[in-house]
């Protein structure tokens, strides 16, 4: 160990001796300035360069021979040169490029990558921008991942329309979902909440694989998805979106952002959608798509002060859906099988940040309160749920000596009162979870790392400690290697987490004692950027292993007449491998190809086997092209899903599924969209599942829904066939603020 420590110290000293240069590049027309994305920064003697990120930042590894000349260029601006010496190591530059003033009436902007992997972050973070979200219908959050290979969205049953995400082959409950670093889609929202967030509200989505930072909480077991809503100062003054498809679904969205005072701005979001048409294209007597309505509204404010900033607002929605047999109507007594979902939600949040006199020191506090109700009917089964939740998280940021050594420390507390009852099974729980955390970040010329630990105390299950480690090593200017190791845990809410399994005649066998689920996740990634046909390209490869110490298992094979819940008594793990390449063979054409392999196994009755409904292989391809005048945009996405194991099902009194009946088919999903931009208008036309792929007979014993063998949960593919949709967007941008207004705010 002493020798290893000595070697690491020598490596750190060597890389520190080399040094690096960082900075931010701004563009100015002498009236205002803004960060420049896509500016080129190059060292002439060292022959190395970088491209500024979306926030204008860059970093370069300095060559051994100094001084050197750093040249900064951007389209539409005068170039600048700076002589870099040894004394400039680790200095952060602020560089301002002034407009070339030759064509003042022409505005040239660099194209931002709609899909990218952050070069500056130590963690492996995949960013989906607003342009990426527009490549598909993206009417709600569940449809925001259609052009992404890392996150899978699966239908849970054939009657309720519920969807869940999967990351690295694991159920979405193991992925921590946040809205601007505030816990989201937890508790009663976990099964139906993906449909509650309109896609037009979203500015970007960040996807982190593996365990996240300790600052974000203890529940990141398979990954973290953070949703960023549009900000009041950056969003449109007026934005309208209208959408309809061939199944009769229609929706309207409206966003608006504006200033109230010089320091205070606000943003409004309104959404309304309806699906009134009853669709039964497979003629089994059941709705292929639930009918119903959804109304959502959100309002947020942002205050920018000299010594503090604050954001606060609320989010509320009403969601009502009806599924089941086509003749079923909510509120009417009948002998038909029906599904009725009535969900009400409101939450408020406050985020405050305080800046201290000492540089790079601040305090941030997040407050969130939520109230949710969910009443659900699946045939004769009734679910009643109510959730009250409070959350506070305080974070103090500082440095140790210089900006290469940073730390974060703080504490959080969660108070949750969750009532959930399915027929006679009551899994209600009141819990208080205080916690504390500490995190250290080292940023070196090549090696950077984040390490932290948090301790939480659960009022029912006692203390838990969660260590995390992330590291990034810059192999070269264009290649990065990352590793991640961490522990995560959660307390399962097995009723609401698996509420879709109520759409079956199987009886539920509850677990005797609910225990916390605990897992260790470890893995790494490699990202290589290169030139292909003299144009930018990238290749990313990652592998992650998740090992469970304890897990809530759902056994649907031991007895086909039952769903058995139990705590893990053997092994349970997942292995996930993904490779993705992005190339741009010609200008304005982008091609992304990906392959994913999943091995997700657990011991059921002493037998280690693949978990159900998890395809072992998946292929992905996305092609996007836009014309040189940016008036027309074309996107095609194809996803191929391999075979997955299906649970054994009982078809009649003496007949069970067997052999190939317990394995899904290989199928492909093809979608395409064309968008036309005309001034402030965007018109789009698209199609989904253009190959008209459908799972044959998705419901077992649909002719006898109250019998002993009814099952609508054995879903591995699409329930409905091809779809065509159309829509339009209209936007008016906010007036550009001048520099004086920026300084005063």
pLDDT exceeds cutoff 50 at 621: yes
pLDDT at 116: 82
Residues 6+ apart with CB under 8 A from 520: 485, 486, 487, 546, 547, 549
- Is the CB of residue 295 less than 8 Å from the CB of residue 272? yes
More confident residue, 59 or 552: 552
Nearest to 511 by CA among 488, 490, 489, 495: 495
**Alpha carbons 160 and 289: distance in angstroms, whole number:** 8
pLDDT at 91: 66
Residue owning tokens 């965007």: 682
pLDDT at 102: 44
34-48, 230-244, 397-411: the lowest-pLDDT one: 34-48
Across 7-31, average pLDDT:
62
**Residues forming beta bridges with residue 390, ordered by sequence position:** 369, 415
CA distances from 358 to 4, 92, 354, 355, 362 (A): 36, 17, 12, 8, 9
Mean pLDDT of the chain: 90
Task: Using only the alpha carbons of the chain, give its radius of gyration.
Answer: 27
- Give the count of beta carbons closer than 10 Å to the beta carbon of residue 169: 26
Sign of CA dihedral 421, 422, 427, 429: negative
| E strand or H helix at 374 | strand 362-378
What tokens appear for 103 in the block?
Answer: 């064509």
> Could you tell me what percent of the chain has a pLDDT over 90?
69
pLDDT at 87: 65
The structural domains of the chain, with segments of one domain joined by +, span 18-107, 116-744
**Alpha carbons 250 and 32: distance in angstroms, whole number:** 42
> What would the CATH number be for the domain defined by 18-107?
2.60.40.1120
What tokens appear for 720 in the block?
Answer: 């409905």
More confident residue, 738 or 122: 122
Query: Mean pLDDT: which of 53-67, 84-98, 374-388, 729-743 is highest?
Result: 374-388
Class assignment of domain 116-744? mainly beta
pLDDT at 89: 60
CA angle, residues 63, 68, 73, in degrees to nearest 5: 105
Render 624-660 in DSSP notation, one character per residue. EEE-TTS-EEEEEEEEEE---B----EEETTEE--GG
**Alpha carbons 501 and 510: distance in angstroms, whole number:** 13
pLDDT at 2: 45
64-68, 93-97, 582-586: the lowest-pLDDT one: 64-68
More confident residue, 225 or 358: 225
Across 319-340, average pLDDT:
93
Across 332-344, average pLDDT:
93
pLDDT at 539: 96
Q: What is the pTM of this model?
A: 0.84
- Domain 18-107 matches domain 116-744 at the CATH topology level: no
pLDDT exceeds cutoff 90 at 10: no
pLDDT exceeds cutoff 70 at 563: yes
User: Strand, coil or helix: what is 88?
Assistant: helix
**Alpha carbons 442 and 437: distance in angstroms, whole number:** 17
pLDDT band at 374 (very low <50, low <70, confident <90, very high): very high
47-56, 344-353, 574-583, 656-665: the lowest-pLDDT one: 47-56
pLDDT at 29: 72
At residue 335, φ and ψ (nearest 5 deg) are -100, 20
Q: What is the pLDDT of residues 126-178, one digit of tens each?
A: 999 888 888 888 788 888 898 999 999 989 999 998 889 999 999 999 999 99
pLDDT band at 82 (very low <50, low <70, confident <90, very high): confident
- Is the CB of residue 39 less than 8 Å from the CB of residue 60? no
pLDDT exceeds cutoff 80 at 357: no
Q: Is 70 exposed, middle or buried (0-12, 13-18, 19+ CB in 10 A)?
A: buried
**Alpha carbons 22 and 113: distance in angstroms, whole number:** 21
215 conformational bin, left if phi > 0, alpha if psi -120 to 50, beta if neither: alpha
pLDDT exceeds cutoff 50 at 107: no
Q: What is the pLDDT of residues 483-535, one digit of tens each?
A: 999 999 999 999 999 999 999 999 999 998 999 999 999 999 999 999 998 88
More confident residue, 42 or 388: 388
Q: Is 63 exposed, middle or buried (0-12, 13-18, 19+ CB in 10 A)?
A: middle
Render 261-298 in DSSP notation, one character per residue. SSSEEEEEEEEEEEE-----TT-SSB-SS-EEEEEEEE
Residues 6+ apart with CB under 8 A from 436: 409, 410, 411, 412, 454, 455
pLDDT exceeds cutoff 60 at 722: yes
Across 54-82, average pLDDT:
83
Q: What is the pLDDT of residues 177-195, one digit of tens each?
A: 999 999 999 999 988 888 8
């Amino acid at each position: 160990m002493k020798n290893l420590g000595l070697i690491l110290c020598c490596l750190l000293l060597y890389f520190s001796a080399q040094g690096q240069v960082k900075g931010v590049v701004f563009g100015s027309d002498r009236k205002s300035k803004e960060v420049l994305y896509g500016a080129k920064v190059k060292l002439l003697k060292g022959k190395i360069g970088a491209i500024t990120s979306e926030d204008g930042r860059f970093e370069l590894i300095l060559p051994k021979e100094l001084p050197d000349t750093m040249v900064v260029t951007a389209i539409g601006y005068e170039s600048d040169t700076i002589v870099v010496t040894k004394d400039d190591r680790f200095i952060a530059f602020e560089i301002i490029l002034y407009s070339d003033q030759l064509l003042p009436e022409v505005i040239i902007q660099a194209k931002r990558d709609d899909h990218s992997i952050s070069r500056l972050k130590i963690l492996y973070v995949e960013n989906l921008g607003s342009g990426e979200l527009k490549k598909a219908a993206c009417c709600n959050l569940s449809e925001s991942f259609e052009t992404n290979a890392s996150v899978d969205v699966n239908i849970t049953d054939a009657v309720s329309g519920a969807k869940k995400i999967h990351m690295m082959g694991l159920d979405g409950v193991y992925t921590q979902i946040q809205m601007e670093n505030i816990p989201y889609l937890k508790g009663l929202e976990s099964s139906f909440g993906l449909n509650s967030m309109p896609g037009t509200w979203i500015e970007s989505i960040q996807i982190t694989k593996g365990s996240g930072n300790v600052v974000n909480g203890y529940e990141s077991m398979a990954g973290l998805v953070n949703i960023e809503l549009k900000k009041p100062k950056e969003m449109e003054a007026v934005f309208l979106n209208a959408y309809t498809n061939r199944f009769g679904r229609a929706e309207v969205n409206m966003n608006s952002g504006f200033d109230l005072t010089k320091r205070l701005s606000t943003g409004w979001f309104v959404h309304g959608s309806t699906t009134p048409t009853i669709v039964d294209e497979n003629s089994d007597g059941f709705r292929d798509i639930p009918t119903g309505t959804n109304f959502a509204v959100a309002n947020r404010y942002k205050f920018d002060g000299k010594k503090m900033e604050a954001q606060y607002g609320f989010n509320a929605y009403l969601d009502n859906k009806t599924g089941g047999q086509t003749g079923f109507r909510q509120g009417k007594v009948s002998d038909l099988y029906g599904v009725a979902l009535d969900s009400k939600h409101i939450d408020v949040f406050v985020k405050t940040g305080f800046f201290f006199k000492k540089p790079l020191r601040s305090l941030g506090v997040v407050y969130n309160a939520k109230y949710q109700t969910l009443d659900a009917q699946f045939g004769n089964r009734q679910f009643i749920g109510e959730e009250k939740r409070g959350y506070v998280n305080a974070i103090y940021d500082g440095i140790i000596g210089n900006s290469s050594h940073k730390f974060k420390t703080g504490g959080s507390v969660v108070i949750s009162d969750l009532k959930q009852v399915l027929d006679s099974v009551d899994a209600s729980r009141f819990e208080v979870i205080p916690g504390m955390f500490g995190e250290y970040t080292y940023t070196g010329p090549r090696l950077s790392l984040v390490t932290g630990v948090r301790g939480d105390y659960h009022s029912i299950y006692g203390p838990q400690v969660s260590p995390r480690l992330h590291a990034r090593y810059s192999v070269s200017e264009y290649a990065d290697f990352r590793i991640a190791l961490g522990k995560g845990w959660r307390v399962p809410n097995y009723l609401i987490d698996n509420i879709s399994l109520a759409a079956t005649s199987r009886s539920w066998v509850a677990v005797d004692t609910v225990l916390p689920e605990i897992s260790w996740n470890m893995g790494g990634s490699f990202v290589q950027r290169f030139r292909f046909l003299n144009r930018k390209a990238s290749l990313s490869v990652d592998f992650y292993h998740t090992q469970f110490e304890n897990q809530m298992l759902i056994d649907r094979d031991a007895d086909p007449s039952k769903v058995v819940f139990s705590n893990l008594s053997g092994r349970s793990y997942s292995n996930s491998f993904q490779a993705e390449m992005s190339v741009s063979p010609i200008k304005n054409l982008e091609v992304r190809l990906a392959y994913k392999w999943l091995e997700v196994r657990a011991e059921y009755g002493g037998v280690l086997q693949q978990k159900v409904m998890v395809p072992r292989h998946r292929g992905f391809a996305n092609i996007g092209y836009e014309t040189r005048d940016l008036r027309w945009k074309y996107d095609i996405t194809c996803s191929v899903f391999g075979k997955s194991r299906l649970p054994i099902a009982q078809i009649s009194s003496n007949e069970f599924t067997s052999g190939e009946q317990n394995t899904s088919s290989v199928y492909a999903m093809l979608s395409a969209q064309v968008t036309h931009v005309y001034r402030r208008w965007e018109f789009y036309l698209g199609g989904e599942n253009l190959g008209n792929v459908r799972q044959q007979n998705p419901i077992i014993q649909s002719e006898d829904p109250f019998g002993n063998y009814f099952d609508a949960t054995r879903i591995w593919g699409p329930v409905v066939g091809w779809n065509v949709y159309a829509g339009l967007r209209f936007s008016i941008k906010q007036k550009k603020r001048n520099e004086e207004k920026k300084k005063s705010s």
